[in-house]
Structure 1
Amino acid sequence: MLSNIKKTTLIAATICGLLLPSMASAAVRPQLTRIVAYAEDKETPVEIINDSDEAYLVQSWLEDLNGNETNIPLVLTPPVMKLAGKTEGKLRVVVLPAEIPQDRESVYWLSIQEIPPKAKEEVQNKLVLAIRSRLKVFVRPKGLDAKAAADAVKSVTWNVEREGGKVWLKATNPTPYYISFGKLELKAGGGKPVVLEDKFNMPAPMGSQRYQVPKSLVGKSATLTYSAVNDYGGGGEELTKGVKL
């Protein structure tokens, strides 16, 4: 039953999003843009709000970064709830400490799907939009904290790689935290800053991530400016590095 609801509302959201991208806005939305869950906490609240005047059903679920919903070491409750108009609600995330990596952060997607009320019979030709909000849940084992997470971006090292006629900037992350770039751009000479594609791809803990350099900048000396998003969704200190592309 719930699976069918999810499929139906997702299809509706996709179709409506294609037809009316500028008009669609969520009635039900999370209060924050990201969630940080600590394994040692009993639970982590996820506050949501219904901006509409009408009551909505809300379905929520967790996935890993590859879209898998099985073997998630988190418990999310309630999976379905009713939220009256102009009211706030709360989801709860419980971490299963023994089942998460103990030496680094892990991250999952939380999807919050609104299920609109049925249109009244006297209303004809009414288009009902079902919008899904999606945010990341960062899970931290015991020993990892917010201060070190905020400083993690300062430990990132950058290298220029060339492969198949393309040039890449490789970010190596030696820390146990995911790095979410708020700003990632190159500027050469007096030109305008160029935002690197795929800047939302995160260097994993103790891993790396590559970002392709635009052809217009290849062969030039440029300044890389970057910053990380903090636990509250805000931008952190901007850092710079000179690179020869």
Structure 2
Amino acid sequence: MRLNRTKHPLFTAVTLCAFFITSQAYSAVRPQLTRIVAYASDKETPIEVINDSQEPYLIQSWLEDLSGNDANLPLVLTPPVMKLGGKQEGKLRLVVLPAEIPQDRESVYWLSIQEIPPKAKESENNKLVLAIRSRLKVFVRPKGLDSGKASDAVKSLTWNIEREGGNVWLKATNPTPYYVNFGQLSLKVGGAKETKLEDKIQMPAPMSSQRYAVPKGLVGKSATLTYSAVNDYGGETDVLTTGVKL
């Protein structure tokens, strides 16, 4: 069974006239974890999902690489579609194809879990039904990578300033075989308010580097860079600081 996917993280499943709409939408179906770490040496990696609502929901799940491609991935996810009753838990199964992943470093993919709500009843003609998509990272580790060292990767980052055409970037170089997913990434000049770098979602890849744009108002000043990473369990590593001349 294949259902059409929307490329937007939130779409209206049933659009009906409503006089009042709450400012926030909450997912009925959600994964138990905020990130998945899959080891090539494991037979499979279970991914638990829960339906917090009283109503049954269909769930469609799929994988993509960081560029949005979903074809010829070295991962198998089952089932692609399943039904989850109200207040019930379910389980997806992720299998890594060890021979097809990089053997000296982590690789990362996106897992999307799309809830498909039940059709609105005739008595609920003024009800707006929203279908929410959860999206989380899947970190795939080949045999031989020590999970205990993943949280230390952020400590190995080195920082440089790059200037080009009037623009300034902070460049993070990552010499480790792990991705660094920033928890904090901000700059502070003197007693001024801390400035968060909005492009912190871009991760320094293993044995590579990533640039982060410095806001124009900070260029030419001395600042304190504050940064941390998100660990395997969704928590934050120790917060680190270093001085930089922007």
Structure 2 match to 1:3:
3
| Greater fraction helix | 1
Secondary structure of the structure 1 residue equivalent to 2:150? helix
Structure 2 match to 1:161:
162
Structure 1 match to 2:98:
97
Amino acid across the alignment from 1:25: Y
- Give the whole-Å Cα distance in 1 for the aligned partners of 2:216 and 2:171: 16
Aligned residues between the structures: 242
Amino acid across the alignment from 2:194: P
Cα distance, 1:3 vs structure 2: 3.5
- Give the whole-Å Cα distance in 1 for the aligned partners of 2:142 and 2:22: 39
Residues 98-152 of structure 1 deviation map (CA, whole Å, 9 limit, x = unaligned): 0000000000000000000111223213211111000000000001122110111
Structure 1 match to 2:178:
177
Secondary structure of the structure 2 residue equivalent to 1:70? coil
Structure 1 residues 140 and 165, CA gap change in structure 2 (3 angstroms): same
Structure 1 residues 220 and 12, CA gap change in structure 2 (3 angstroms): closer
Residues 61-105 of structure 1 deviation map (CA, whole Å, 9 limit, x = unaligned): 000111111011001011111111111111111100000000000
Is contact 1:9-1:130 (8 Å) kept?
no
Structure 1 match to 2:11:
12
Alignment of 1:68-147 (within 5 A): 68-147=69-148
Structure 1 residues 144 and 23, CA gap change in structure 2 (3 angstroms): same
Poorly superposed stretches of 4+, deviation over 2 Å = 6-16, 19-23
Cα distance, 1:170 vs structure 2: 0.1
Structure 2 match to 1:240:
241
Unaligned 5+ segments in structure 2 are none
Structure 1 residues 131 and 152, CA gap change in structure 2 (3 angstroms): same
Structure 2 match to 1:44:
45
- Give the whole-Å Cα distance in 1 for the aligned partners of 2:57 and 2:14: 20
- Give the whole-Å Cα distance in 1 for the aligned partners of 2:122 and 2:13: 24
Cα distance, 1:216 vs structure 2: 1.4
Amino acid across the alignment from 1:242: G
- Give the whole-Å Cα distance in 2 for the aligned partners of 1:209 and 1:21: 38
Unaligned 5+ segments in structure 1 are none
Structure 1 residues 212 and 105, CA gap change in structure 2 (3 angstroms): same
Alignment of 1:222-237 (within 5 A): 222-237=223-238
- Give the whole-Å Cα distance in 2 for the aligned partners of 1:237 and 1:47: 28
Amino acid across the alignment from 1:218: V
Secondary structure of the structure 2 residue equivalent to 1:150? helix
Is contact 1:226-1:240 (8 Å) kept?
yes
Q: CA RMSD in A?
A: 2.0
Structure 2 match to 1:63:
64
Structure 1 residues 114 and 231, CA gap change in structure 2 (3 angstroms): same
Structure 1 residues 234 and 21, CA gap change in structure 2 (3 angstroms): farther
- Give the whole-Å Cα distance in 2 for the aligned partners of 1:97 and 1:90: 22
Secondary structure of the structure 2 residue equivalent to 1:89? strand
Matched, 1:213 2:210: no
Structure 1 residues 159 and 7, CA gap change in structure 2 (3 angstroms): closer
